[in-house]
C-alpha cells in the first residue's frame, strides 16, 4: 500500500510538471486586452448606431429665402446632407413654416403647398440621399437603405383656414404634425408669443374640432408655441398623446411662456407625450434670453449712432459681428441640463430632440452649432451616466412611441 501511495504521488508530481493539473487550472490565462473592461461607446458611435429623429428643422423656409443645394455642403444654414451624415441625423422633421402675415393676407394654404412641393422635390432630385417618410416604419426602412428620411410637420395651423377637410388634405400630402399656432393668435389657438391678445382664452371652439380631427386622421398635435390655457384645452380634448416638437423647460427661463412649465410637462407625461428640447440659447438659459434682448437693443442704437441705413449691407454686417461678440451663448451642457430636468421630473420616456436648427438664427449654443453636433450632446449624456438604451429613447424611441400610438388611436376612431 505504501508503495502504491508513493507511485501515485510520483504520477501527480509528473502531471504538475507537465502542466496537466485539474480542469480549473487548464483555463488559459487572460490576455491584457481580455482582462480590461469593455470600452464604453462614444457619442459619435451611438449617433451612428441609433436612429436620430429631430422634431423640428426649418430648412424649407430657409431655402425659400435663400436657395442652396443641401445635398452638398452649403455656405450657410445649420443643415446639409454631409453635416447630417456626420452627426448621425436620420430623420429631420422638415418644418412647413407659415408666417403669421398669411393669417391676415390669405394664401397660407398655397405657401404650405409650395414648401411641401420643395421638400418632395429635394427627395426626388436626390433619391440616393433623401426620401420622404410618413411613418416610423418608413423612416426605419430608409435608414436601412442609407438614406436620410424627410418627414414633414406644419408650423402654424393657419393653412387649415376654417375647413376641417384641410387636415385630411395635408395628411395626404405627408404632414404628420401641426403646431396649432405660431407667434400670433389664429383661428385655432392662442399663441404664447402674442402678449397683446388672448383671443380665445385657450383653444377656440374650432380649435377643439381641429384637435379631434387630427386624432381621427392620425396627425400628431404639436403643443409648442401655444399658451398654457390652450395646452390644457388640448389635454381635455385629445384622445392621443401629443408632442411639443421644439420646446424647452421653463424652469431655466422663468417667465418665458414659450417653454413648458413643470405642471405642463407633468400633464404631458400623463398623456404619454414627449417634449423635444429646443437647442436655441434663449430657450436654454435665462442669461442668454436676457442677453438677446439687451444686445438687439444696443445694435439698433449703434446703427443709428453710426448713421447706417437699417437693412443695408453695412448695417447687417455690423449687426452680425456685434451680436457674435456680445451675445451670451448657452452650451451643450445646458441642453443636457434640460434633458436631466425632464427625466428627473417625469422619466426618460418623455424627452426627445427638437433642435429648431435653421429656425433660431445665430443663437445656437457652443457645442451644438449645426446638425453635425448631436454626438457632443450624446457624449455629455454618457458622461452623466445615461445608458445606451436611454440615449436611444431620447434619439428616436420616445417620438416613435408617440407617433405609433397616434396611429393606433386614429385606426380605432376610424373603425368606430
Report how far residue 130's alpha carbon sits from residue 151's, in angstroms, rounded to the nearest whole number.
10
DSSP 351: E
Cα angle for residues 284, 290, 292 (degrees, 5° grid): 85
In-domain check, residue 306 = no
Read off the pLDDT of each residue in 357-384 and give the average, rounded to a whole number. 98
In-domain check, residue 258 = yes
C-beta separation of 379 from 35 below 8 A: no
Domain that holds residue 358: 43-285+328-414
Ranking 12-21, 160-169, 222-231, 245-254 by mean pLDDT, the lowest is 12-21
In-domain check, residue 369 = yes
Mapped onto helix, strand or coil, the DSSP state of residue 58 is: coil
pLDDT higher than 70, residue 7: no
The HSE-up count of residue 388 (CA atoms within 13 Å, CB side) is 12
pLDDT digits (tens, 9 = 90+) for 241-270: 999 999 999 999 999 999 999 999 999 999
Report how far residue 394's alpha carbon sits from residue 392's, in angstroms, rounded to the nearest whole number.
5
Mapped onto helix, strand or coil, the DSSP state of residue 42 is: coil
- For cell 384641410, the residue is 166
Burial of 391 from C-beta contacts in 10 A (0-12 / 13-18 / 19+): buried
pLDDT digits (tens, 9 = 90+) for 30-70: 455 455 677 889 999 999 999 999 999 999 999 998 999 99
pLDDT digits (tens, 9 = 90+) for 67-122: 999 999 999 999 999 999 999 999 999 999 999 999 989 999 999 999 999 999 99
195 — pLDDT class (breaks 50, 70, 90)? confident
Alpha-helical (H) ranges within 185-285 are 205-217, 228-237, 262-270, 281-284
Angstrom distances, CA of residue 58 to CA of 142, 201, 225, 285, 287: 21, 29, 15, 22, 25
In-domain check, residue 320 = no
In-domain check, residue 402 = yes
Handedness of CA 82, 88, 93, 99 (dihedral sign): negative
H helices, E strands: number in the chain: 19, 10
In-domain check, residue 12 = no
The HSE-up count of residue 19 (CA atoms within 13 Å, CB side) is 3
CATH number at residue 244: 3.20.20.140
In-domain check, residue 374 = yes
Handedness of CA 73, 78, 81, 85 (dihedral sign): positive
Report how far residue 2's alpha carbon sits from residue 12's, in angstroms, rounded to the nearest whole number.
15
Report how far residue 206's alpha carbon sits from residue 311's, in angstroms, rounded to the nearest whole number.
39
Higher pLDDT, 192 or 3: 192
Query: For a pLDDT cut of 70, what percent of the chain falls above it?
Result: 91
Nearest in space to 403 (alpha carbons), one of 168, 218, 178, 179? 218
Domain tally, the chain? 1
pTM of the model: 0.90
User: Which pLDDT score is estimated for 38?
Assistant: 77
In-domain check, residue 318 = no
Query: Quick one: which H or E segment has residue 243?
Result: strand 243-244
Distance from the Cα of residue 343 to its chain's centroid: 16
pLDDT digits (tens, 9 = 90+) for 305-316: 999 999 899 999
Report how far residue 152's alpha carbon sits from residue 97's, in angstroms, rounded to the nearest whole number.
10
Read off the pLDDT of each residue in 212-216 and give the average, rounded to a whole number. 98
Report how far residue 245's alpha carbon sits from residue 58's, in angstroms, rounded to the nearest whole number.
12
Amino acid at each position: 500500500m505504501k508503495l502504491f501511495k508513493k507511485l501515485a504521488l510520483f504520477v501527480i508530481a509528473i502531471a504538475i510538471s507537465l502542466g496537466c493539473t485539474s480542469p480549473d487550472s487548464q483555463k488559459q490565462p487572460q490576455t491584457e486586452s481580455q482582462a480590461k473592461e469593455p470600452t464604453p461607446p462614444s457619442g459619435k458611435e451611438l449617433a451612428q448606431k441609433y436612429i436620430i429623429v429631430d422634431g423640428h428643422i426649418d430648412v424649407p423656409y430657409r431655402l425659400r429665402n435663400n436657395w442652396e443645394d443641401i445635398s452638398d455642403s452649403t455656405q450657410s444654414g445649420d443643415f446639409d446632407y454631409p453635416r447630417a451624415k456626420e452627426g448621425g441625423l436620420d430623420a429631420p422633421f422638415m418644418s412647413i413654416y407659415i408666417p403669421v402675415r398669411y393669417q391676415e393676407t390669405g394664401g397660407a394654404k398655397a405657401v404650405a403647398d409650395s414648401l411641401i412641393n420643395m421638400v418632395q422635390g429635394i427627395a426626388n432630385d436626390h433619391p440616393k440621399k433623401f426620401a420622404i417618410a410618413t411613418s416610423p416604419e418608413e423612416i426605419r426602412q430608409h435608414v436601412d437603405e442609407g438614406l436620410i428620411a424627410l418627414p414633414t410637420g406644419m408650423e402654424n395651423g393657419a393653412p387649415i383656414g376654417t375647413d376641417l377637410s384641410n387636415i385630411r388634405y395635408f395628411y395626404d400630402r405627408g404632414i404628420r404634425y401641426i403646431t396649432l399656432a405660431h407667434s400670433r393668435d389664429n383661428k385655432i389657438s392662442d399663441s404664447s408669443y402674442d402678449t397683446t391678445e388672448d383671443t380665445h382664452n385657450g383653444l377656440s371652439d374650432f380649435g377643439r374640432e381641429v384637435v379631434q380631427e387630427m386624432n381621427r386622421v392620425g396627425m400628431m398635435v404639436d403643443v409648442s408655441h401655444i399658451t398654457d390655457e390652450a395646452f390644457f384645452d388640448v389635454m381635455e380634448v385629445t384622445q392621443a398623446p401629443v408632442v411639443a416638437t421644439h420646446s424647452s423647460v421653463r424652469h431655466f427661463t422663468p417667465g418665458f411662456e414659450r417653454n413648458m412649465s413643470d405642471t405642463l410637462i407633468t400633464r404631458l407625461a400623463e398623456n404619454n407625450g414627449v417634449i423635444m428640447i429646443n437647442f436655441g440659447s434663449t430657450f436654454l438659459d435665462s442669461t442668454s434670453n436676457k442677453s438677446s434682448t439687451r444686445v438687439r437693443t444696443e445694435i439698433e442704437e449703434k446703427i443709428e449712432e453710426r448713421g447706417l441705413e437699417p437693412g443695408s449691407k453695412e448695417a447687417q454686417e455690423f449687426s452680425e459681428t456685434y451680436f457674435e461678440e456680445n451675445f451670451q451663448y448657452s452650451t451643450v451642457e445646458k441642453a443636457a441640463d434640460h434633458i436631466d430636468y425632464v427625466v428627473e421630473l417625469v422619466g426618460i420616456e418623455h424627452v426627445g430632440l427638437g433642435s429648431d436648427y435653421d429656425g433660431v438664427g445665430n443663437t445656437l449654443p457652443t457645442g451644438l452649432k449645426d446638425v453635425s453636433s448631436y454626438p457632443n450632446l450624446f457624449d455629455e449624456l454618457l458622461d452623466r451616466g445615461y445608458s445606451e438604451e436611454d440615449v436611444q429613447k431620447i434619439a428616436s424611441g420616445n417620438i416613435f412611441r408617440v407617433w405609433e400610438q397616434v396611429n393606433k388611436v386614429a385606426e380605432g376612431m376610424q373603425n368606430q
